[in-house]
A and B are shown apart, each in its own frame.
Chain A
């Protein structure tokens, strides 16, 4: 082996390095792909995303266009899923509803994820009284049923999309905080972090280069896993009458509104519930698949 260093060759290899990096993700993707259920989930979610983006092209109707004289109509050629209690085309509202659902879901997980991951990082890394305070707060909040606390919080701040996000998020973050903290505690104690200090890494650098990248997959998985909870919680709040406001086409409120017409127009509640189930199931499958894919040790063997 010649020891003279050929810079050009090496640079070429550095390029490969970048390719390999993507292929890391690619490997994860391969593992993910192998899981049939998660592929089904992914396709569900892609369908919903597609619908959310192209809703206006998929339907000739306006989701807010009421028609008092054609309300609660049966499904027909004209209105594939019939009309709702204000004579609006139900399918159109459900299609547009995917926008609200994704928006609410994403906002919730981002919001609670942001708080939870930050506080989890702080608690895990700083330890001592910071940890004590944050974790006690987590304990306290987790003693309350989410929906009930969210209901009260939504009551405080009034209803509406953003308040739903905040209400659910204010409890939801505890899950992230616990996960992230646990993960950090184990990483913090790990040998490679000690090794990092031994070569002279500074604390911020250790957090940034050693701890965060190792927590990130957990966080990403968490976000996927929490998405269903967020969607269901927001729908339940709508059901209890403290959710997203009409006339926004939100699945939860459509299902809630439709339940009064369950004997007469069962498809309203049914199809709205189906959309929720479809999306939530999709995210659940994905979350499950991701967990396995990101963490090769936990694969079904």
Chain B
């Protein structure tokens, strides 16, 4: 068993909105180990993005702790935060929106290098950037381009290169391919995996596309309405989902197999609003196995064998 790289304890992030308090992340306990590729799935609005933004301290948590390499990241003072930024990096969902339209590729990638003092002289910068571009399957000529002069896939590769530039320990990937076409998606995923192997990186993927998480993750988590409902090694989770939500979700995924027998949908209704989540288990209004306890008591994330954990009163 490898070292724990990242751990969250009861992490919460609430937003104020005119309609009330949005409980976007509502008590998340997670453990990410060194070298893992962790994948978190969940439906739109369940708080995935907010979770990783809070872990990265791009948002201040409302409650709870995040330990990175054993140290509480809230104990980092403003000037130390820079260290943290070198160790954690992020790749964003929309390659187009996450690049400054007024910076060339060169500028975009050179910023992290400069900020963290990884290259000072122009020559050093050039060498490193070209190397990064080559890793990403791009050429030096791309350095002079502005984002709008690149294709979507190329932009996302720049986004990845920017994240890789600081040689971080962990990279958070917020649906890194959902804005891309299938054929391009493959390329990015492969490049990411290659980089992970070569640099011994830890990945934290989030996506609503179970098929993607299935392909890239070792360990998989399922999130529902601000909470993790189930977590465990990918194979086990896929073959034997425990939480009723996980089961329903996996069932709902259409399969590109014309021979598959089409099953009846089990997940009725929609994700409730995070402003007034149902009492007890969040999932109880949609759960086919609901009993009274579920409507009153919130299930904790229980540790099962094989590193699996699930938050359901059934277990």
Q: List chain A positions with a Cβ less than 8 A from chain B.
A: 1, 3, 5, 7, 9-11, 13-14, 16-17, 20-21, 24, 190-192, 194-201, 209-210, 213-214
12 contacts between A and B (CB under 8 A): A7-B126, A10-B126, A10-B140, A14-B122, A14-B143, A191-B98, A195-B90, A198-B56, A200-B85, A200-B86, A200-B112, A213-B103
Query: Does any Cβ of A come within 8 Å of B162's Cβ?
Result: yes
Query: Which chain A residues lie closer than 8 Å to B101 at the CB level?
Result: 192, 214
Query: Which chain A residues lie closer than 8 Å to B131 at the CB level?
Result: 3, 5
Closest 4 pairs (CB-CB, A-B) = A200-B85, A17-B144, A199-B112, A213-B102
Q: In the complex, what's the smallest C-beta–C-beta distance from B161 to chain A, in angstroms?
A: 11
- A-B contact sample (19 more), CB < 8 A, given A198-B56, A199-B85: A1-B134, A3-B131, A3-B134, A5-B127, A9-B140, A13-B141, A13-B143, A14-B122, A14-B126, A20-B144, A21-B104, A24-B146, A192-B101, A194-B92, A196-B111, A197-B58, A199-B89, A209-B103, A209-B111
Q: Are the CB atoms of A190 and B144 closer together than 8 Å?
A: no
Which of B85, B99, B100, B143 is the most central at the interface, judged by chain A CB atoms within 10 Å of its CB? B100
Closest to B52 in A: A198
Q: Which of B156-171 contact A (CB under 8 A)?
A: 159, 162-163, 165-166
- CA gap between A190 and B86 in the complex, in Å: 22
Query: Which chain A residues lie closer than 8 Å to B17 at the CB level?
Result: none
Q: How large is the interface on B (under 10, 10 to 19, 20 to 34, 35 or more residues)?
A: 35 or more
Q: Are the CB atoms of B111 and A5 closer together than 8 Å?
A: no
Query: Which chain A residues lie closer than 8 Å to B166 at the CB level?
Result: 199-200
| Chain B positions 71 through 84: 1 when the CB is less than 8 Å from some CB of chain A, otherwise 0 | 00000000001100
Closest to B104 in A: A17
Which of A9, A10, A198 is the most central at the interface, judged by chain B CB atoms within 10 Å of its CB? A198
Query: Which chain B residues lie closer than 8 Å to A20 at the CB level?
Result: 104, 144-145
From B81, B97, B163, contact of A190 by CB (8 A): B97
- CA gap between A17 and B111 in the complex, in Å: 17
Query: Does any Cβ of A come within 8 Å of B297's Cβ?
Result: no
Query: Which chain A residues lie closer than 8 Å to B103 at the CB level?
Result: 209-210, 213
From B106, B122, B126, contact of A5 by CB (8 A): B126
From A9, A16, A198, A210, contact of B144 by CB (8 A): A16
Q: Are the CB atoms of A198 and B90 closer together than 8 Å?
A: yes
Query: Does any Cβ of A come within 8 Å of B252's Cβ?
Result: no
Q: Are the CB atoms of B144 and A200 closer together than 8 Å?
A: no
- CA gap between A283 and B24 in the complex, in Å: 49
Query: Which chain B residues lie closer than 8 Å to A17 at the CB level?
Result: 104, 106, 143-144
- CA gap between A195 and B56 in the complex, in Å: 11
- CA gap between A220 and B141 in the complex, in Å: 31
Q: Do A11 and B144 contact each other (CB < 8 Å), given the known contacts A5-B131, A198-B56, A200-B112?
A: no
Q: Do A214 and B102 contact each other (CB < 8 Å), given the known contacts A198-B90, A199-B89?
A: yes
Query: Which chain A residues lie closer than 8 Å to B102 at the CB level?
Result: 213-214
Query: Which chain B residues lie closer than 8 Å to A210 at the CB level?
Result: 100, 103
Closest to B149 in A: A20
Q: Are the CB atoms of B98 and A10 closer together than 8 Å?
A: no
Query: Which chain A residues lie closer than 8 Å to B94 at the CB level?
Result: 191
Q: Do A191 and B134 contact each other (CB < 8 Å), given the known contacts A197-B58, A199-B115, A214-B101?
A: no
Closest to B101 in A: A214
Closest to A203 in B: B78
Query: Which chain A residues lie closer than 8 Å to B56 at the CB level?
Result: 198
- CA gap between A106 and B104 in the complex, in Å: 32
Query: Which chain A residues lie closer than 8 Å to B111 at the CB level?
Result: 196, 199, 201, 209
- CA gap between A205 and B127 in the complex, in Å: 24
